[in-house]
Structure formats: structure tokens, C-alpha cells
Amino acid sequence: MLGMCFFRLGTVSSITKEVFMKEAGSIANATSLSLAIPSKPSQPANATPTVQFDVSNLQSSYANVCNVSSTREEVVLAFGVNNVWERAQANVQVQLANRIVLNPYAAKRLAAVLNRVVAEYESKFGVLKDDARPQANAA
């Protein structure tokens, strides 16, 4: 997909994310993957069309590690799993399995929506401690 992605947080029943994609001067609006609503034919010409996502090939993976690097042109997020929780080990092997490459503008918008999601989470469930060690009572 070409263009710039804008992320915005909203609420429908739980946490819902709206994604705004700007492609070649037109703006498209979409709610979360399962909540895409078809556009109505009677919308005015300047109304924002709705984007529907095809999730039939969507794959999910778990990550508890994210390595971030950047250049002037891109921000690279590499996700993986750390299976070792013993802090006494001299070397820890982390298998990085997925990489997402963003332009800096999309990375900044992603950071903003993640900050809003965490703030909403903390308002509902309490403040998260910024601690690298796993919490005993973490969900």
C-alpha cells in the first residue's frame, strides 16, 4: 500500500482504532478490522469513504521483545520472543521473527496511538510500572 497512514483511537465497544490512509491526495477512513462499515451511497462528494479490510489472510504472532532501529528515511521495528527469564545468564538469545518498516511520519503517528491505548489501559486497570522484569500479577 502506498501512502501515509494516520492512526486515531476511538471507542466502539472496547478499544477501537481508526486508521486514516492518505493516498494520492484522497483520505480514507476505517474502523478496527472487525468493525469496518460500508460507505453509504448517499454520502456527499466531500465525505470520507470507508475502507474495508480483508482479514482472511491475516496472521497473528506473539512478541515480548521489540528491537527498534532507524535511519533518516525509515524506522524499523523487529519483533521477537525472549524465552529466557533468568537474569543471571551472561548471554540471552532472542529470536526475532517479524519486521515492520515505517517512514518516520507513520512511526510518529503509531507512537501517538500506542500512547493513547496505554493511557486508556492505565485509566481502566491501573498504572503500569516501567520494569523489564515480568510482573506476577500482569494479565
Please give the single-letter amino acid code of residue 94: V
* Residue with more model confidence, 8 or 43: 43
User: What average pLDDT score do residues 1-17 get?
Assistant: 36
At residue 89 the predicted structure's pLDDT band, cuts being 50, 70 and 90, is confident
Domains of the chain, residue spans: 1-55, 59-125
pLDDT of residue 122: 97
31 membership: H or E segment, kind and range = none
pTM of the predicted structure, to 2 decimals: 0.57
Place of cell 462499515: 37
Q: Are 39 and 26 in contact (CB under 8 A)?
A: no
Q: Mean pLDDT in the chain? A: 74
